[in-house]
Chain A
Amino acid sequence: MKLLVKGGQVIDPANNRDDMLDILVEDGKISKIGRNLKARNAEILDAAGKIVCPGFIDIHAHLREPGFEYKEDLASGTRAAAAGGFTTVCCMPNTNPVIDNMAVARFVRERAKRTGVVNVLPIGSITKQQAGEELSEYADLIAAGCVALSDDGKPVSKADVMRHALEYTRMFGVPVLSHCEDLSLSAQGQMHEGFYSTYYGLKGIPAAAEEVMVARDIILARLTGGRLHICHASTLGTMDLIRQAKAEGLNVTCEVTPHHLTLSDEIVGTYDADTKVMPPLRSQEHIEALRAALLDGTIDCIATDHAPHHLESKDCEYNLAAVGISGLETAVAVVMDQLVNRNLLTLNEMVRLFTCGPADVMGLAKGRLNVGEAADITIIDPHLSKTVDPQQFYSKGKNTPFKNMHLTGWPWATIVRGRLVYCDGSIIEE
């Protein structure tokens, strides 16, 4: 089976490519990249006017299976990913049971192969049951296909446990993904602490709740030489700490989410629980700091923190609502519309933050268009305008504060291992 992607603008930051090129895909692999390619018996995908990129990678998603299939499962979550332009998704271990052993990790991989439409790479838990006490069996988890370790939404509160995780993972070279939150500072908090928490009368979560833990983890990375990655970095202080750690040469990386780059705490005033997320939406000065850090290289990648929830856990009192945003299907369009189209980020930089950026964080041989390698390709239509309608999501989670926003620049086609799985608004089933 051959597929010829023709006439698009190919942007491949890892290979310094930005040119009008064709890509020929054969047997799931890229066989040629060049001008005016011709191939017999190839299906032609006309990409004229589109942007052709290495497959986008989301290193932070919650696909909920096993255990919470009413929120999302590997079938729906991977279709949401494909519709959102992602060819690879790393899924967090906060499932039930937790991905803290080989059996669950294998289940996720095999189930994703059977029911999913994109590459799914599981993340194992740092500690058994994500309980923050004993280390999970990392060698087993990695043998079963885990690409990183994280206790996800449960911060590793004990410094010595984090220290040992950063030390022990040195044997394997995988990153430890840290959700930085001092639980005593964030307790009962509903939104970012600042003027708007005062104005709306909701208990605030200070930026310091994140920053004290980022500082601790960076100090532990220095102590251990471990490979530390900060999840969903959201504050000005976090950016300063990471910038400093990188300047010092520590092995520290970080991700930001599309929502922290674009939405401020002001929108919480409707008490619509779709705005409730951890870390919380911050104030404008933090948004500005994140945007500045995107440009100076402090931020390694954009990740969705896709957190689908069922209706009942969001359709309720703000304090009772679950935290999280269903983000896979809006991430690219939000970044295109709010940053690229407003000249706050170049197209090339955006592609880097979704491709080789995340691949390098996870140590994956992905995120670039190389002849002979798996044909994971994302194609964006920079002119397509659409209003976000969560009811049209492939994800079971309709929870998004971007609902009803009109955005320009959407994923148009997604090719995973040579197969066109999403094109022009629809998932293409096998």
Chain B
Amino acid sequence: MKLDRRKDLLGIKDLSKAEIDQILHTAAPMKDVIKRDIKKVPTLRGKAMVTVFYENSTRTRTSFEIAGKYLSADTVNLAVSTSSVQKGESLRDTIKTIEVMGFDLIVMRHSMSGAPHYVARNTKMRVINAGDGQNEHPTQALLDMFTIKEHKGTLENLTVTIVGDILHSRVARSNIYGLTKYGCEIRVVGPATLIPPEVEKLGVKSYYSLEQAVKGADVINILRIQRERQHAALFPSLDEYADLYMLSPERLTGAKEDVLILHPGPMNRGVEISSTLADSTQALINEQVTNGVAVRMAILYLMMGGAKDEIAG
């Protein structure tokens, strides 16, 4: 199956390698559009999309919005905190209301895993999951994969280390589901309380030692650590976390010399990543953001269907 045949993009779990390749392949010319002086193609003229974020986010939402605008789609944000959700409206009714306004596609973020799956079952609109609870964040994984491929030339058989709060991370899960399809060796590393149960069955290796986990790594993907987890007694303090797991240039000595550093943002400098590393040339954090727009343009294009020649020009 190709993405243009699929109604929804809910997770990487159910994408085939061919679909991922198609998205990454389509994202390359999209990146060129972003670099143009006139950053607009008429591809999605007359199409309407809405972003509905039940959880705060600046970059993902803005990224989707500008991706839609570069492609000439009409893009609207529903500010959930000021909407009727606050008045007790059900998710189903909110979605129905949006649907009957004529939107073709909804981009949705929700703090609860499976909420986009529930929405997808109950609407004719196409649904893109922009992050659901601890489950998946497919577009983040796709932009990570695009970034890795740009630098390494391939996704096949790389060693990728994911550091931090794996338990609560949808970014980690989507990356695992995507990269394992390319035969990558995935290592997850973090405090024992933040490694999910039976994670090895996802085809990854788990570590407690950062040093061991980064040995020979081609890519290190660093996750944001959230202060709330400390209050849930999952680790003692951010200081201890930083002592054990903060990535810095000194801690990369065992990794490959050309190791790539990714971070989905926003960063906690001095907690999961040192400032020196964050600002180094190995860190692709800003490039990830640009690629995010390109990958989302590719997905919107494939899902809402534009004529292919308009992009090539």
* Interface residues in chain A, defined as those with a beta carbon under 8 Å from any beta carbon in chain B: 190, 193-195, 197-204, 270-271, 312, 315-320
Check if A198 sits within 8 Å of B198, measured CB to CB: yes
- Contact residues in A for B196 (Cβ distance below 8 Å): 197-198
Beyond A195-B198, A198-B198, A201-B173, whether A316 also contacts B118 by CB under 8 A is yes
Check if A198 sits within 8 Å of B92, measured CB to CB: no
- Contact residues in B for A319 (Cβ distance below 8 Å): 112-113, 133
Pick the 4 closest A-B CB pairs, nearest first: A271-B114, A201-B135, A201-B134, A195-B198
Give the shortest distance, in Å, between B178 (CB) and chain A (any CB). Answer: 14
Beyond A198-B199, A201-B136, A201-B170, whether A318 also contacts B112 by CB under 8 A is yes
* Interface residues in chain B, defined as those with a beta carbon under 8 Å from any beta carbon in chain A: 13, 90-92, 110, 112-115, 117-118, 132-136, 170, 173, 196-199, 201-202
Contact of B92 among A195, A201, A202, A315 (CB under 8 A): A315
Beyond A270-B117, A271-B117, A316-B118, whether A195 also contacts B201 by CB under 8 A is yes
- Contact residues in A for B92 (Cβ distance below 8 Å): 315-316
Beyond A200-B135, A201-B170, A202-B134, whether A318 also contacts B114 by CB under 8 A is yes
- Contact residues in A for B202 (Cβ distance below 8 Å): 198-199
Question: Which of B114, B136, B170 lies at the interface centre, i.e. has the most chain A CB atoms within 10 A of its CB?
Answer: B114
Check if A271 sits within 8 Å of B197, measured CB to CB: no
Check if A195 sits within 8 Å of B133, measured CB to CB: no
Beyond A195-B201, A198-B199, A198-B202, whether A316 also contacts B114 by CB under 8 A is no
Q: How far is the CA of A316 from the CA of B135 in the complex (A)?
A: 17
Give the shortest distance, in Å, between B123 (CB) and chain A (any CB). Answer: 14
- 22 A-B residue pairings within 8 Å (CB atoms): A194-B197, A194-B198, A195-B198, A195-B201, A197-B197, A198-B199, A198-B202, A199-B202, A201-B113, A201-B134, A201-B135, A201-B170, A201-B173, A270-B117, A271-B118, A316-B90, A317-B114, A318-B113, A318-B114, A318-B118, A319-B112, A320-B112
- Contact residues in B for A198 (Cβ distance below 8 Å): 196-199, 201-202
Closest to A191 in B: B113
- Contact residues in A for B13 (Cβ distance below 8 Å): 199
Give the shortest distance, in Å, between A306 (CB) and chain B (any CB). Answer: 25
- Contact residues in A for B201 (Cβ distance below 8 Å): 195, 198-199
Q: How far is the CA of A186 from the CA of B18 in the complex (A)?
A: 40
Q: How far is the CA of A312 from the CA of B92 in the complex (A)?
A: 10
Beyond A195-B201, A201-B173, whether A317 also contacts B134 by CB under 8 A is no
Give the shortest distance, in Å, between A425 (CB) and chain B (any CB). Answer: 31
Check if A317 sits within 8 Å of B135, measured CB to CB: no
Q: How far is the CA of A202 from the CA of B173 in the complex (A)?
A: 12
Q: How far is the CA of A204 from the CA of B199 in the complex (A)?
A: 13
Check if B91 sits within 8 Å of A317, measured CB to CB: yes
Check if A317 sits within 8 Å of B118, measured CB to CB: yes
Closest to A319 in B: B112
Check if A200 sits within 8 Å of B198, measured CB to CB: no
Give the shortest distance, in Å, between A184 (CB) and chain B (any CB). Answer: 10
Give the shortest distance, in Å, between B19 (CB) and chain A (any CB). Answer: 19
Give the shortest distance, in Å, between B291 (CB) and chain A (any CB). Answer: 24
- Contact residues in B for A201 (Cβ distance below 8 Å): 113-114, 132-136, 170, 173
